[in-house]
Amino acid sequence: MRLSSRTARPWLRSLLLCFAATASAEPPPEHMVYLRTIDPTIEQDIRYASAHNFTGHPLDGYAAAECLLTREAANALARVQASLRTQGYGLKVFDCYRPARAVADMGRFATQPGDPRKAEFYPRVDKQDFWRLGYVARVSNHSRGSTVDLTLTGPKALPAATWSADAGQVDCTAPYARRWHDGALDMGTGFDCFDERTHTDSPLINSTARDHRRLLSQAMEKQGFTGYSKEWWHFTYSAATQGTGTPNDVMDFPITSPDTGTALAGSQQLIVVTSKDWNDSRGTAQRYTREGQRFRKDGEAFAVILGKNGMAWGKGLNSVEPGDDPVKREGDGKAPAGVFKLGTAFGYDATAATPLPYLALTPSTECVDDSRSARYNELVDGAKTAKDWTSSEQMRNEPGYRQGIVIEHNTPATPAAGSCIFFHIWRSPTSPTAGCTAMDQANIARLLEWLDPRRAPLLVQMPEAQYAQWRERWNLPPR
């Protein structure tokens, strides 16, 4: 029975409001594009969508960790990437378009008490001096859409670490091996480091870092970008100021996840899972790889096990009005339906044969499923994190988590909308899950080897009838 607005439970009202907000979110202007739709091989680590930045909190307007740029700037950046890849290097972006409200948020932080990330990002600077020293602007070129903060990747880069709020703070000017491992080459300092060593031509850094800065600057300048003398990572597509016809006004639309069709356009790997109907706990999975404008099947289809109560619409990249269809909630025993990004791989072993970022589970690794917690729907080290939850999954207690992959459902988390959703090893071909998608160990191992974050992999999961309904609109491949 459909509940009236007066009698609907609070969790359902909030979740339906979430769907409505997603459907009605302000779209980007036509001249702005998601970078991953232009070149999905450029890595992204959008710092202001997380708390790992100099303010210690996600900035206003960053509802998704996505890089948006003007189409001209994105195409130019793709040319830089192509040039660098012939030399064995690549790009990783930290920030692109920045809503004006985020710039204002930075300004508020600089005038308020508290320095939660000072030890890492500005150990020798008072934040009241940010403007005077040129580290923070009252109006940022980022808000015009053609400015990007980025770094250089390569085979000699230390692997990227997985950041969490309880990570220790190390001075951003510390030696390369000691400071935060962002997956980039040694550039002399970390990103967002407020220090003289970040000046592009600083004599205070080693020769290796100077060479890397020079390589990055030359590659960017060749394609029309101009650097900023006080920040080695900061470049503006200079053609944007020379009468290209592209609007050059300050913008303030929020950064949200791309609509499903746009996300698929930027993806080169899909895993499609379908079931007979909403209540079926068994499904079939098929891998796809992009060839030009189409996806081709990659390997044979294989069996999966879903939630014990089937599926329900979840919170991912899709924008749907659920109507009479079920909606995913905490503890309902349903796997989420929709389109989802794939996150970190995890497992019992110290390492794994996978291009995905990898988390080695320890006896104290937990996934928080208490929706009242600030860490709801997060993997945390319970031995190192101040606990504000009463319920969690002890990850090393579940044999199926010997190998797994995070499905980014309900990210960022809406309370009670569902948590701790993974690909993992099944107990048996007939044992349903509490809401995850499980499979034979050989198939999970195959996924770990196949999935590549540079190819923007996605999970598309829903009953057959809904897949047929949305296939054309979302440009999904035929089953």
Say how many Å lie between the first and final Cα of the chain, rounded: 33
**Candidates 72, 120, 231, 408; catalytic one:** 231
Residue 231 annotated among the catalytic residues of the structure:
yes
Give a three-class secondary structure readout of the chain. Answer: CCCCCCCCCHHHHHHHHHHHHHHHCCCCCCCEEEHHHHCCCCEECCHHHCCCCCCCCCCCCECCCCCEEEHHHHHHHHHHHHHHHCCCCEEEEEECCCCHHHHHHHHHHHHCCCCCCHHHHCCCCCHHHCCCCCCCCCCCHHHHCCEEEEEEECCCCCCCCCCCCCCCCCCCCCCCCCCCCCCCCCCCCCCCCCCHHHCCCCCCCCHHHHHHHHHHHHHHHHCCEEEECCEEEEEEEHHHHCCCCCCCCCCCCCECCCCHHHHHHCCCEEEEEEECCCCCCEEEEEEEEEECCEEEECCCCEEEECECCEEEECCCCCCCCCCCCCECCCCCCCEEEEEEEEEEEEECCCCCCCCCCEEECCCCEEEECCCCCCCCCCEEECCCCCCCCCCEEEHHHCHHHHEEEEECCCCCCCCCCCCCCEEEECCCCCCCECCCEEECHHHHHHHHHHCCHHHCCEEEEEEHHHHHHHCCCCCCCCC
Task: Cite the active site residues.
Answer: 231
